Chain A
Amino acid sequence: MRNQQATRTLFELSKPGLRGCRLPEPDVPAAALHELLPAELLADAPPPLAELAEPDVVRHFTNLSTQNMSVDTHFYPLGSCTMKYNPKRNERVAQLAGLAELHPLQPDTTVQGLLALLYELAAMLAEIAGLPAVSLQPAAGAHGELTSLLVAAAHFRRRGEQRTKVLAPDSAHGTNPASAAMAGFTAVTVQSTPQGFVDLDDLRRKLDGQVAVFMITNPNTLGMFDPQIRVIAEMVHGAGGLIYLDGANMNAILGICRPGDFGADMMHFNCHKTFSGPHGGGGPGAGPIAVSSDLAPYLPVPLIERTAEGYRLVLDRPHSIGRVRSFFGNVGVLIRAWCYLRTHGARGLREVSTQAVLNANYLLSRIQHILPVPQGNRCMHEFVASAARLKAERGVSAMDIAKRLLDYGFHAPTVYFPPIVKEALMIEPTETESKETLDAFADALHQIVQEPPELLHHAPHSTLHSRPDEVQAARHPVTSWHATRPRPASP
């Protein structure tokens, strides 16, 4: 039933002379291009793109889409990514011409409705964070981290303090140390205890007058809420540093507790995770940040201000770190986040976190005896199971299990992260899944762990292809299509 022809690459489908779009004849005087442009800048021929008829394009991409797993089609328990249902109503709102067809340089007076929406979104995020000042600009979580660290750097520079280090636990997302390096800091790793909490002794050893920021994910990447957070915050603040909360796991604590209340000075939200902006096959996201009033002067420009005459963009902020992107923010994603918050309200959000935590704990209870969860029998919105015992006893790895799940019609969990758990399977069911789905997933795992190792090593068996040769891909990178390259045989 599969249409193999339509899933050949665009370039194999291309036929000279075909076209999918025709534009009107010029309604103004035309001239030869060489009369209008210097020869040294003019191309000899149009760029060698693919040449296709419109139906070709439609069939090609439609068929490609069917080769993805997605939230709309599959349970997608990818830990740390919060793959929850993406409400269709939010899509329709974001695509309203009065919100989508706005140019970023339009006068403020012509975008009052949008500025009101964004202003309200910022206020709602501030309330959820427990931190008063919000920038909607960062394009994704990692961009929010970088922006916040630049805010911290500006803050210390203005105070005349030389602070060069950023600390993060060994369980942190890789973006934390990478953002620290990009902002000009030295990244220092703090050890975790066997329970996955911050090792306070190690933190104490590494905490000195050089530390600008301690980046913490709480709940952490093991799905555990670190109860020492207030002590940690006191230690870091005592040494003159700031606490950054990586908000990747906010889906566990909406309305339950607030980062600003437990000691964070700054944080980011992942709107594409927590507030259901679709993940888009790898973005776009939106990573707004919230900071304390002390740090507010350094937020990037522009900010939205509400005045008696209406809303306006403020560009003139003398202590601001400046601009972090071309224009205002990933507005399309922010609009969807606004829709999400407006349709949930305070009780709805608390319900989201409660049910997300219920689902995760239920799934944990269903599988922990076959895939041990080293951090214990309770979790927040996600948990990390380990296939280490299975690996030792039967040679079956976390990757084998992940790949076999695809045959059962489930997307795989995140694997081999966080690095502090051996053979890690990081599972985040989210609140938008039923008990029946969780049971089916747990049943699949029960079957998989009993299957012959040989079967699992070669899984998946039902997908269009089996495991890709990643070594070949990295050693001899083929990152674009070339007509002359000999093509591997098709099945």
Chain B
Amino acid sequence: MAYLFNTPEDQQAMLAAIGAASLDDLFAMVPRELRLARELDLPPALTEMELWHHAQKLAAQNRSCRELVCFLGGGAYDHFVPAVVDQLAARGEFYTSYTPYQAEASKGNLQAFFEYQTLITRLTGMDVSNASLYDGATAAAEAVLLSLAATGRRRVVLPESLHPAYRQVLATYLAHLDAELVTLPTPQGSLLPDDLAQAVDEQTACVLVQHPNFFGVLEEMPALASLAKRCGALFIAAVDPISLGILKRPGDYGADLVVAEGQSLGNPLQYGGPYLGIMACREPLMRRLPGRIAGQTTDRHGRTCYVLTLQTREQHIRRERATSNICTNQGLLALRAAIYLAVMGPQGLREAATLCLYKSRYLARRLVEASGGRLAPAFQRPTFKEFVLRDRSGRVEALVEQGLAAGYLAGVPLGRWYPQWADGWLLAVTEQRTLSEMEGLCACLAGM
């Protein structure tokens, strides 16, 4: 079923105007021998009704976070999304438009991106934000590429406590470039300033630290940032935007670049994408940023307006010398993040962060208490909304399975990424989780 308009009579009239004998004649420039001599082998077309029924059946074969109670984290979180976010982002004028190349016909998007950028700079304490990248991991990789270009150095230093997927993406992106990836062990669950001090030197382009890190642990950011900067390396902070409701902003402890996964800011989980790559920097790095940037200017009557700016950084102008190859970004998710932050406001974000903190601390303590000595906190340093427990019996998979059987997405075994912590169990608690859900999880695991 195609969404078509032209009646057979229209088509004849159009062919006549073109001077073509037939529809087939329109494809004359495709050599016969290259044409597909058969129909594509695809499933038969469904009507809208059949599609809807079939898709509902497929959806019913999944067990969603509305059916199961979600204690999963690891870079994607089940935060509350106010109704206005979905309602506003569903306006066709937003979601069926494209990159605002024609400013006069795209003022809505341009102003929304300008506001998004402003919200992100205020959230992070940075000077400049772009209008989005693909996701947290690719934003981190782009920040590292920026650092290599900006410093002319080739060493990239990061701790093992950085999200494993971010490290994998970085390794993929750097595989054929002149760069060296140095990964520092974090046996205590976070990067020790002394360890970083020994790893950085005049060849270090950047230090990339996640805070809270993959284990939910808060890193010693002020000390780490000053160590990086002492040897002239750029300090990249990968942050959880929700945590900035209560935590110090990266700009306040000296970060040069901030990257983040923006899924938490009003975007659905959707099995990993589309998500929102946040990237912001200090002013001197502005002209090296990848991606779209909306800027404010005036028209010839002096009226305020907005336009995509600093485009000489970009691929369509600079081609192989562009700061990145990115073209289509994640505009609709940036819009959603702007709406989310507008409706949450400073107090709402602070409440969300505080609830995550209280609840995750509560669950960590209760699980340990309820386990009768089997579970213990893995690391000493404070956590935000996620934490790692160690299972002295070494049967984390069984805990997760038991949880699932009782209706809980009960965290993930840390050994999936860290063989040295095969007894580690990673759980996350957002503001959406209730006391009874947490007690329910403890109760279903108590007898194990």
B136 touches A174 (CB 8 A): no
B97: chain A residues at CB < 8 Å are: 68-71, 76, 279-281
Per the 8 Å Cβ criterion, residues 206-248 of A in contact with B are 224-225, 227, 229-230
B354 touches A33 (CB 8 A): yes
B47: chain A residues at CB < 8 Å are: 343
- 22 pairs across A/B with beta carbons < 8 Å? A10-B342, A19-B345, A37-B247, A48-B122, A49-B349, A93-B52, A113-B61, A124-B43, A174-B314, A175-B325, A279-B328, A282-B330, A325-B165, A326-B138, A327-B76, A328-B273, A331-B273, A361-B18, A362-B14, A362-B18, A467-B300, A468-B297
- Complex formed: what's the CA distance from A454 to B128 in Å? 38
In the complex, how many angstroms separate the beta carbon of B220 from the nearest chain A beta carbon?
8
A322: chain B residues at CB < 8 Å are: 168-169, 171-172, 175
A365 touches B17 (CB 8 A): yes
Knowing that A37-B382, A68-B100, A357-B27 touch, tell me 14 more A-B residue pairs with CB under 8 angstroms: A68-B106, A70-B96, A93-B52, A116-B61, A280-B94, A328-B271, A333-B273, A343-B51, A345-B1, A346-B41, A378-B18, A463-B105, A474-B311, A479-B296
B31: chain A residues at CB < 8 Å are: 227, 230
B446 in the interface (beta carbon within 8 A)? no
B317 in the interface (beta carbon within 8 A)? yes
What's the dominant secondary structure at chain A's contact region? loop
Per the 8 Å Cβ criterion, residues 366-416 of B in contact with A are 382, 400, 404, 409, 412
B98 in the interface (beta carbon within 8 A)? yes
A182-B65 contact in complex given A343-B45, A348-B2, C-beta closer than 8 Å: no
B14 touches A174 (CB 8 A): no
- Complex formed: what's the CA distance from A174 to B176 in Å? 21
A67 touches B330 (CB 8 A): no
B63, B105, B109, B361: which contacts A110 (Cβ < 8 A)? Answer: B63
In the complex, how many angstroms separate the beta carbon of B347 from the nearest chain A beta carbon?
5
Q: Mark A341-355, 1 if CB is under 8 A from B, else 0.
A: 111111111111011
B339: chain A residues at CB < 8 Å are: 57, 61
Closest to B137 in A: A326
Q: What 7 A-B pairs come out closest when comparing CB atoms?
A: A327-B272, A98-B59, A113-B61, A282-B331, A345-B45, A72-B92, A280-B332
B84, B176, B221, B382: which contacts A20 (Cβ < 8 A)? Answer: B84
Closest to A94 in B: B270
A293 in the interface (beta carbon within 8 A)? no
- Complex formed: what's the CA distance from A336 to B354 in Å? 36
B93 touches A150 (CB 8 A): no
Per the 8 Å Cβ criterion, residues 432-477 of A in contact with B are 432-435, 437, 458, 460, 463-470, 472-474, 477
B286 in the interface (beta carbon within 8 A)? yes
A324 touches B169 (CB 8 A): yes
- Complex formed: what's the CA distance from A6 to B335 in Å? 17
- Say which one of B113-121, B154-162, B202-210 lies at the interface with A: B113-121
Closest to A69 in B: B105
B362 touches A29 (CB 8 A): yes
A89 in the interface (beta carbon within 8 A)? yes
B39 touches A412 (CB 8 A): no
Closest to A282 in B: B331
B104, B123, B318: which contacts A406 (Cβ < 8 A)? Answer: B104
A92-B52 contact in complex given A49-B344, A114-B271, A285-B328, C-beta closer than 8 Å: yes
A134 in the interface (beta carbon within 8 A)? no
A43, A86, A326, A365: which contacts B246 (Cβ < 8 A)? Answer: A43
A290: chain B residues at CB < 8 Å are: none
Per the 8 Å Cβ criterion, residues 77-119 of B in contact with A are 78, 80, 82, 84, 87-88, 90-109, 111-115, 117-119
